[in-house]
Chains A and B, each alone.
Chain A
Amino acid sequence: MSSNQNYIFPPDLYYDRATHIWARYDDEIVTIGLDALGLESLGDMAYISLQAAGLPVQRGESIGSLEAAKMVGDVIAPVGGVIAARNDDVLRDPSLINRDPYHAGWIIQITPSDWESDSAQLAHGADVTAWVESEIERYRSQGWIE
């Protein structure tokens, strides 16, 4: 497991380097959430809205929006496909994302249209450790984390 102090990055997940969104591929479904450094920067989640199940999406497209502290931004799909499910618990209590980001705080599920191609653009396996370390160093050098 890649980690540095409190920043945990489970090694079985895939990570979008640009958006700090994680993806878990399991039984032809991709589950998506926000990783530890993304959450560190955004802070406490206040609100989230998500596109409805059944909507086709492309990698890089917005699949919803969120408000953390006072920043409003989009949730970007790390893979293309069709939205399979939304986490109703997170819609009702977005702080669940902060409390349990990799399990109960998952955000949305997508049935991928081209997992092989899309996942090749995400950090995974041995790449994760190096990427996380460089990200933590970057955050630290900017004074964003101690």
Chain B
Amino acid sequence: MLEFEVSFMRLITDNDVSASFGLAADECLAARVGAGQSEPTLRLYTYRSHCALVGRFQNLENEVHRAYCAEHNIALNRRPTGGGAILMGADQLGVALTLEGRGDDSYSRAREWMTQFSSGVVHALQSLGVAASFRRKNDIEVNGRKIVGLGIYRAPSGGLLFHASLLVDLDLPLMLHALKTPFEKISDKEIATVADRITTVRREIGRAITVDEVRARVAEGYAATFNVSLNGGGFTDDEWVAISNLQSLKYDTAEWVNQTTAVPDATGSAKIKTPSGLIDVRLTLAGNTIKAVMIGGDFFAAEGAVADLESSLRWHSADPKAVAAPLETAYTQRANDLSSLPRDSLVQVLQQAIRRAQVAESASRADPYGCFVTPEGAHV
């Protein structure tokens, strides 16, 4: 049974929007829908190529290469939703579903919301022949490769914004140059490593499908999963005014874009030689949370299995017990695929990388004039 049932839903499609307008429109609609001032809306849109959007609480300096972005006219902004930095443009479809929240369940249904809200995108991808599935927490994947990033924001009015970024296509080298990654250099090897972890609609179906065709499928997906007719429309006059105000007062301001958090980032790496080969782990912590992790080396593992492991660790606590739990699940589910990657050695090298990141973070605190640790910085 659907958690959210709506009798009607407006469909807005727009293209080539600026980063500040795109985000202001989404937040504004969430607030207004929650307050009963606007209709529940599915917005399917593209940003002007390109912009780099960081998660609600991320430090911009840790996530993007400012100089490169400035040089290549890549706009920078901050989403109201959480998660990691993304690159958006004409080949990435933005999905913003805004619904009236339920006043008595601020926190208790977050997990279920994500499952239902993502179902329209999953339905659309499956209709194209892409074997996409929702991965608990925050991604839609195809055989361990991420194809959609997800996030939810709850407005003070109670309105809910479900955000998804659907990769119809992606310029991987551009993304690796614009966003900071655990790599110290970017060569074909690093691009291939990321290509093992990210995929696109065009890659999966093997043809140059247009964004408009994907958009139509996503609209059909939401109509089907919510069992509702979508009424095409645009922003109302009141909405244009409210969006414009929010854009100028928030998303166009340096105060919003450049805000920082007290939670520090730190990176660590470790290697271990095993009879099955070398295991090389690089990770980034945000406080005590694993924000990013890359498991490399020359061991053998089935396609998608390592990306699956990494995904199970992202946004998890870095506490030893918390790290062990998702690994146990992954090894149970993919025992054959991971048989040449010894679990004990992986746990050992992960914990060593975490300890080194924690030491680096402590050192940066002790030396306020030192270089703040960034994900691409020197690994301890």
Bound state CA distance, A49 and B58, in angstroms?
A: 12
Task: Summarize B's interface: helix, strand, loop or mixed.
Answer: loop
Task: Given A18-B103, A44-B322, A93-B263, check contact A68 B286 (CB 8 Å).
Answer: no
Residues of B within 8 A of A43 (CB): 110-111, 137
Residues of A within 8 A of B287 (CB): 46-47, 92-95
Q: Are A20 and B106 in contact (CB under 8 A)?
A: yes
Q: Which residue of A lies closest to B317 (CB)?
A: A44
CB distance from A7 to the nearest CB of B (A): 12
Q: Which residue of A lies closest to B82 (CB)?
A: A67
Which listed segment binds B: A24-32, A70-78, A112-120, A121-129? Answer: A70-78
Residues of B within 8 A of A93 (CB): 263, 287-288
Q: Are A47 and B322 in contact (CB under 8 A)?
A: no
Q: Which residue of B lies closest to A88 (CB)?
A: B262
Q: B interface, how many residues as a size bin?
A: 35 or more
| Chain B positions 72 through 89: 1 when the CB is less than 8 Å from some CB of chain A, otherwise 0 | 000000001111000000
Residues of A within 8 A of B104 (CB): 17-18
Bound state CA distance, A68 and B138, in angstroms?
A: 11
Residues of B within 8 A of A62 (CB): 156
Residues of A within 8 A of B81 (CB): 70, 72
Is A134 engaged at the interface, CB distance under 8 Å to the other chain?
A: no
Question: Nearest 8 CB-CB pairs, A to B?
Answer: A47-B57, A67-B82, A95-B288, A70-B138, A73-B154, A91-B262, A71-B110, A19-B106
Residues on A facing B (Cβ under 8 Å) = 17-20, 34, 37-38, 41-47, 49, 61-62, 65, 67-74, 76, 88, 91-95, 98-99, 135, 139, 142, 144
Besides A65-B56, A69-B110, A92-B287, 10 new A-B residue pairs in contact (Cβ under 8 A), listed by A number? A41-B110, A43-B137, A46-B287, A49-B261, A62-B156, A70-B114, A71-B82, A73-B154, A94-B287, A95-B288
